[in-house]
Structure 1
Amino acid sequence: MPFGTSHEIIVEATRLCLWSFYKVVAVYGSHNVSPDEPYVIACTHHNMIVDPAILSNTFPYGRRIHYWAKDSLFANPIAKRILDDSGVVPVDRTTKNNTLLYAATYDVLALGECVGVFPEGTSHTLPGIGEFRDGTSWAALGYAKSLLDAEGEGAERRTKYQARPADVLPVAIVYQDKSKYRSKIIVQYGKPISVAPYINDFINGDQRATVKRLTRDVEAAVAAMCLNAPDWDSRHAADISRVLLFGDQSKDSVDYVPIMQSLISTFSVLVPKYEDIAYLRRILLEYRKQLNTLHLEDSHIRNYNEQKITKTSTTVYLCKQTLKALVDLSIFLPGLLAHWPLYIIAKVTERYEIFEEVRAQNKMFVGIAMVPFTYIVMFFLVWRTMFSNSYFGIIPALLTVGIFAWYHTVSIDSRYEMFKDLRGRWRLFDAVVMGRGMWTRKEKVLEAKRLRDECLRGVRKMVKDYETQPELAFILQRLKAKQNEASKKARKGFEWLS
């Protein structure tokens, strides 16, 4: 089933959106994917239409992916032409006959191509993955069975295309903060799950039970690659613990998922057994709540750990960062002014959407709609002011706007981090020096500092006292590795390990 122009346009448009909205899309496990084997891809589904966009743009070897859609969408001739051109596969959900239900899917797999499926069924915002449905397993096993038929369409596919069974490929997409601008995405491709161990039971035994068994195995493979917490409290406590132990920059580490999942599992296992761990989780959640209430990050409180939070220290830190930002702003200001309307509109769009999994896609759609208008206006301004509307100035004006857009996107990250840090320092200054707002605001900052100190001691104690736990043994191993990699000055922060 060929991919046409519509598919290429969609993929390139979403590639541009992902590049401009997210800071990093890190891909791991590409070596597990063959360049020519057919796959039924089982992927997590936490972020609406962004998930297929990421899958299509990161799939190894530039291979294209088909996706399912209700066959009723193909009723309109124009819609059918666009969907066919995009590689979308119709699924007849009105029939109970799996051969008819997945007929188009079997044709695609026979060509050695891939079909992307989201077994959770619907996009969601949960602390872990949702329950997997059986469609992926039915498709993979049904297709393998059809190839063994002595006659019929399966035999024809086997003879005509030398078709072979399709493995199930588990894929996990992990969002660190899926609706936030310049956040990070981690895509993990797992080892393909062969249908060979299941096909005999599927043909000669209980089909439904075999399908359920394969679904459970696929779900377990996906769960092992992503963040899977039983509740939000465990996940939030693990995130704060990660920041306290490894620093906020650990979110950019290749070990982000295993570190987070190890801490999640630690709290899930130890909280019901030990009161000290239950208490630790409570104060970690309270510290997180304090940070959210004050609109601060852990780094803002951490910077004052070795000195008192005084008017003098707060003012000095603020002045240093403000001066640094003003110097940098002189270079970055033109790009900021040009793109400011996009940021404002995206922020307004976010306020009117209650579902987090919809916010990112809405921001991207707004960007797609507004970016062309923004750059067209910018082009005419450059063409007029720099090249006097001359025909010879068209190409230079286009190049100028293109370089301008590229520079803004590749340089936004450091400026955005600086802006967030400066905003936090202004809030500390407002609370400690100006004393505005509620009279308890300064006390809340001091309470947050006290809580952080207690949380840090508690997390370190947990790592040392329960190091025999497999999850914490891994955390201890990573901490010692980080200690060895750190500079002589930074190693002082790891002295508690000895």
Structure 2
Amino acid sequence: MASSSDPKVLHRVIRFISGLAVSSFFTELRVIGGENVPKDGPIIVTATHHNMMLDPVVLSVGFPHRRILNYWSKASLFNNPIMRYILFSSGNIPVDRKSKDRQALFKGTFDALSKGEAVALFPEGTSYTEPRIMQVKDGAAWAALEFSKWLREHPDVDTRTVTIIPTSIVYTNKSKYRSGVIMEFGRPISVKDYEEQFFSTEENAARAAVKRLTRAIESELVETSINAPDWDTLYTARMARDLLWEGGKSIKLDEFVIISQTLVDLFSTPDLTANFKSVKRHLLGYYSLLQSSHLTNSVLSSLPLSESLNPNTPTTIPGRLFTLLILIRDSLSALVQLPFFFVPLIVHLPVYAMGRFGAKLVEDEEETQAQNKVAFGLISLLLIYSGSFFFLWALFWYTPAGALFSAFLVYLFAVYHIKMIDSNYERAKRLIATWRILVGVWTPKRWDLSMAALSQYTTPKTPPENPWIDRPKTPVEGEATAARSDANRPIGSGTGNRSARRPPSRRLVRHVLKARVEAVNALASFFDQLEREGGDKRVNSSLHLARLFGQVTDGESSEKGWRYSKEVVGFLRQRGAKIPTLGNEVINGAWAALSSEGEGYTTSEEKDEPVWVA
């Protein structure tokens, strides 16, 4: 067994390389609640697990005080002495899952905790993609309380009782390159509060204490993550968030979770307004069409679109000449910047290609895509940087000083690439989006998908169910709604049924632009109705948000949280939401013009025009 003085060199090397991968893939890793993590002493970190191997990578790289984390590994892997050293040095501890004796099961965990080290677990048991936390198993609670028992049996051990640190890892878009990641540490949970019941001689008292501790862990994880009752509600909230904060980076990562959960709660309140179902349908339709067309609302909003469109006139199709001018402008802008980014682009092309290839291998497994992008890209990156280092070193005649200077140049080149990638990546996405819109606008309207063919692309595709998730036999609150929602999906849409081959984006562009206007109009009408009704309507709320901003009342079987609609709207505005409101004037813009053949769309469902207000 590695001693407490073991420097765990392999872990530090892996963490350093992982840090490079994290900074290359994500724009930012934001740590919240770091003050809840003690600098020393035994702790068990219980983290959410929704992005495969990236979760332990992010957890280790961003963990406060640079503490080394020990992860559970299969005990049989430690039989070989060489493998044993490698595993211990890289931050792994054995767990004998076959043992029915919990003291034997957690022996490696007790050894680490007794030295004041940190053990990291993923109590959900598996990585999965679901709209909410589906399960939290009892392993972490058993390990913590059994350690308290072990301490009683070993009074000579100089250490204190273990503290549990619930940790949520939330990704702004977990499979997207240059997205953000938030790691929030919840309130520490002291095991002492559960020891009396655990050591009680009453029948099943120990198991009851474990269950109670597990519920406390789950409660903290829920409070620091985003949880929706079903996929439709989550997708609706995402689309509303993208429209209210066009350009997702305008949302502070510190507030990303609380804003997202507020929107989830808002759209979890059935019949909140008369047009509630219509609003959800329009938002879901636009969300799905964006998925199918390889476009994003943030990119569309970055183009010179008219900020408000009159729904009573032909609106959503821009003129062909105007679209061509946008393409020329963005192309010239890209060409101006290209000389500064050309060399990094050429050098890193294999990295981009391998990352894309890795994602293609698991196209239907969202939680694995980012892992493959990072893994394939990192391997390519190490090969390229190693080759660059030896090439530069050869120019300096393989001298020691030349080695240091070559390594420094490679490091500067890597930093330069990361600094340059964000602006150029966004510019490239704009250019590609403009090209797709240009092709779609110049294509004759008769080539567009018919409404019958379009229906399968107006319902978002949901990930397949994870077979390792323990689903309750009786649906919990929200699952019945999800089942009804799935039952109402068009045939050929939804989970696993949509054709794997997407239609050419040129056949969807007009539909996407029309759906964008309809979604904005629907959102404007939704908030308008909320405010017209006086703002005293009750909006469903997660319990932790209700305690902060609303009230909690006793329900038939559990507590219910709610907030006033006026407070919710004010909450969103205070945090930068650009809520569209209904006005009377007609605003004409280039995007409100017909195409050169008069191939426009009209929208008739809404009667007023949205005007953006801060």
Q: Same fold (TM over 0.5)?
A: yes
- What SS does the aligned partner of 2:369 have? helix
- What SS does the aligned partner of 1:169 have? strand
AA partner of residue 47 (structure 1): N
AA partner of residue 345 (structure 2): L
Counterpart of 1:355 (choices 359, 365, 373) is: 365
- Structure 1 residues 283 and 350: CA distance shift in structure 2, 3 A: same
Contact 1:241/1:459, CA 8 A, preserved across alignment: no
Other-structure match for 1:155: 155
AA partner of residue 168 (structure 2): A
Contact 1:127/1:228, CA 8 A, preserved across alignment: yes
> 2:388 matched to 1:378?
yes
> 2:333 matched to 1:324?
yes
CA distance in 1, matches of 2:536, 2:292: 33
Contact 2:173/2:180, CA 8 A, preserved across alignment: yes
Contact 1:383/1:393, CA 8 A, preserved across alignment: yes
Task: Kindly state the Cα deviation for residue 82 of structure 1 after the two structures are TM-superposed.
Answer: 0.9
Contact 2:351/2:378, CA 8 A, preserved across alignment: no
Contact 1:266/1:471, CA 8 A, preserved across alignment: no
- Structure 1 residues 397 and 373: CA distance shift in structure 2, 3 A: same
> 2:72 matched to 1:71?
no
Provide Cα deviations, 1:278-311, integer angstroms capped at 9, x if missing partner: 2211211011112223322224554423475222
**Alignment TM-score, normalising by the size of structure 2:** 0.73
> 2:409 matched to 1:315?
no
Counterpart of 1:171 (choices 167, 172, 176) is: 167
Off by >6 Å, runs of 4+ in structure 1: 493-498
- Structure 1 residues 446 and 108: CA distance shift in structure 2, 3 A: closer
Contact 2:279/2:523, CA 8 A, preserved across alignment: no
Contact 1:467/1:476, CA 8 A, preserved across alignment: no
Task: Kindly state the Cα deviation for residue 448 of structure 1 after the two structures are TM-superposed.
Answer: 2.2
Other-structure match for 1:230: 229
Counterpart of 1:44 (choices 44, 48, 54) is: 48
CA distance in 2, matches of 1:339, 1:495: 43
Contact 1:246/1:479, CA 8 A, preserved across alignment: no
AA partner of residue 325 (structure 1): A
Bigger mean CA offset, 270-279 vs 10-19: 270-279
Contact 1:483/1:494, CA 8 A, preserved across alignment: no
Other-structure match for 1:338: 347
- Structure 1 residues 263 and 183: CA distance shift in structure 2, 3 A: same
Q: Gaps spanning 5+ residues in structure 1: where? A: 485-492
> 2:300 matched to 1:292?
no
- What SS does the aligned partner of 1:482 have? coil
> 2:456 matched to 1:460?
no
AA partner of residue 518 (structure 2): L
> 2:421 matched to 1:412?
yes
AA partner of residue 283 (structure 2): L
CA distance in 2, matches of 1:21, 1:86: 23
> 2:133 matched to 1:129?
yes
CA distance in 2, matches of 1:409, 1:437: 44
Q: Gaps spanning 5+ residues in structure 2: where? A: 310-314, 450-506, 540-562, 579-608
- What SS does the aligned partner of 1:240 have? helix
Correspondences of 1:197-236 after superposition (within 5 Å): 197-204=193-200, 205=202, 206-236=205-235
Other-structure match for 2:267: 267
Contact 2:163/2:188, CA 8 A, preserved across alignment: yes
Provide Cα deviations, 1:358-393, integer angstroms capped at 9, x if missing partner: 222222222332223212333455567xx5868576
- What SS does the aligned partner of 2:116 have? coil
Contact 2:131/2:229, CA 8 A, preserved across alignment: yes
Bigger mean CA offset, 395-404 vs 185-194: 395-404
- What SS does the aligned partner of 2:276 have? helix
Task: Kindly state the Cα deviation for residue 48 of structure 1 after the two structures are TM-superposed.
Answer: 1.4
Contact 2:182/2:253, CA 8 A, preserved across alignment: no
Other-structure match for 1:488: none
AA partner of residue 228 (structure 2): A
CA RMSD after TM alignment: 2.7
The size of the alignment, in residue pairs, is 480
Bigger mean CA offset, 319-328 vs 210-219: 319-328
- What SS does the aligned partner of 1:178 have? coil
Bigger mean CA offset, 468-477 vs 324-333: 468-477
- What SS does the aligned partner of 2:170 have? strand
Contact 2:226/2:260, CA 8 A, preserved across alignment: yes
CA distance in 1, matches of 2:149, 2:402: 63
CA distance in 2, matches of 1:246, 1:67: 38
> 2:178 matched to 1:182?
yes
CA distance in 2, matches of 1:5, 1:481: 44
Counterpart of 1:28 (choices 22, 27, 32) is: 32
AA partner of residue 255 (structure 2): D
Contact 1:243/1:250, CA 8 A, preserved across alignment: no
Provide Cα deviations, 1:294-334, integer angstroms capped at 9, x if missing partner: 32222455442347522233222222222111101121111
CA distance in 2, matches of 1:40, 1:106: 11
Task: Kindly state the Cα deviation for residue 241 of structure 1 after the two structures are TM-superposed.
Answer: 0.7
Provide Cα deviations, 1:173-226, integer angstroms capped at 9, x if missing partner: 001221221111000011101122211111114111111111011101111001
Other-structure match for 1:104: 108
Other-structure match for 1:490: none
Contact 2:393/2:402, CA 8 A, preserved across alignment: yes
Q: Which has the higher helix share?
A: 1
CA distance in 2, matches of 1:76, 1:53: 25
- What SS does the aligned partner of 2:199 have? helix
Task: Kindly state the Cα deviation for residue 13 of structure 1 after the two structures are TM-superposed.
Answer: 1.5
CA distance in 2, matches of 1:395, 1:74: 37
AA partner of residue 125 (structure 1): T
Task: Kindly state the Cα deviation for residue 7 of structure 1 after the two structures are TM-superposed.
Answer: 1.4
CA distance in 1, matches of 2:90, 2:577: 50
Other-structure match for 2:571: 477
Task: Kindly state the Cα deviation for residue 267 of structure 1 after the two structures are TM-superposed.
Answer: 1.5
Contact 1:41/1:171, CA 8 A, preserved across alignment: yes
- What SS does the aligned partner of 2:244 have? helix
Correspondences of 1:47-62 after superposition (within 5 Å): 47-62=51-66
Counterpart of 2:86 (choices 82, 87, 92) is: 82
Contact 1:291/1:448, CA 8 A, preserved across alignment: no
- Structure 1 residues 439 and 242: CA distance shift in structure 2, 3 A: closer
- Structure 1 residues 398 and 164: CA distance shift in structure 2, 3 A: closer
> 2:432 matched to 1:423?
yes
